[in-house]
Copies of this chain bind each other. A is one copy, B any other.
Amino acid sequence: MGFQKRTPRIEILFTGSELLEGRPNTHQNYLCLKLKNAGFSVVRATTVPDNKAAIALEVKDWSLRSDALIICGGLGPTFDDLSREAASEALKRPLVYHPEIFKAIKARFSRYRSPIPAENKKQAYVIEGAQVIENPRGSAPGQALEIARKGEIPQSLFLLPGPFAEMSPLFEGAVLPRLRFLYGQNLFSEHLLLHLSGISESAADEKLSPVIDAFNGQARFTILGLLAQVDFYASVEGKSSQEAQRKMRKLKAAILKKVGPFVFGEGEETLESVLGRALLRAKKTLAVAESCTAGGLASRITSVPGSSDYFKGGVVSYSNDVKRDFLGVQSKTLSRFGAVSPECAVEMAEGVRRKMKASLGISITGIAGPGGGSAKKPVGLVYVGLSGFTKKPLTRQLHLIGDRETVRKRAASWALHFSLQELLLGEK
Contact = CB atoms under 8 A, between A and B. Distances in A.
Among A48, A78, A205, the one with the most B-chain Cβ atoms within 10 Å of its Cβ is A78
A296 B298 CA distance: 8
Given A47-B44, A295-B314, A315-B315, A117 B206 contact: yes
A427 interface: no
Interface of A: 16-26, 28-30, 32-33, 36, 41-51, 54, 61, 76-80, 111-114, 117-120, 137, 163, 165, 200-203, 205-206, 209, 212, 220-225, 231, 233, 288, 290, 293-299, 301-303, 305-308, 311-319, 321-322, 325-326, 355-357, 369-371, 399, 401-406, 408
Nearest to A58: B44
A408 B61 CA distance: 42
Contact of A314 (B54, B312, B316): B316
Closest 8 CB pairs of A and B: A295-B295, A22-B33, A295-B298, A314-B316, A294-B302, A313-B322, A295-B299, A78-B205
Contacts of A120: 202
A122 to B, nearest CB: 11
Among A29, A47, A313, the one with the most B-chain Cβ atoms within 10 Å of its Cβ is A313
Contacts of A314: 294-295, 315-316, 318
Nearest to A212: B79
Among A317, A318, A370, the one with the most B-chain Cβ atoms within 10 Å of its Cβ is A318
Given A48-B44, A321-B357, A405-B303, A21 B78 contact: no
A209 B79 contact: yes
Contacts of A312: 318-319, 321-322
Contact of A316 (B201, B224, B313): B313
Nearest to A20: B42
Contacts of A402: 137, 165
A200 B114 contact: yes
How many copies altogether? 2
Contact of A222 (B22, B220, B357): B22
19 contacts: A22-B30, A22-B224, A44-B54, A77-B201, A78-B205, A117-B202, A117-B203, A137-B406, A293-B299, A294-B299, A294-B311, A295-B295, A311-B319, A312-B322, A313-B317, A313-B322, A319-B356, A325-B356, A326-B356
A366 B288 CA distance: 21
A298 B399 CA distance: 23
B20 A29 contact: no
B318 A313 contact: yes
A291 B76 CA distance: 33
B54 A36 contact: no
Contacts of A78: 201-202, 205, 223
Contact of A205 (B77, B209, B356): B77
Given A137-B406, A295-B299, 11 more contacts: A18-B222, A25-B28, A43-B54, A45-B47, A76-B201, A79-B205, A137-B403, A295-B297, A308-B319, A314-B315, A322-B356
Contacts of A406: 137, 165
A61 to B, nearest CB: 8
Contacts of A42: 20-21
B44 A32 contact: no
A164 B48 CA distance: 23
B33 A21 contact: yes
Given A212-B79, A325-B355, A318 B302 contact: yes
Among A22, A77, A355, the one with the most B-chain Cβ atoms within 10 Å of its Cβ is A22
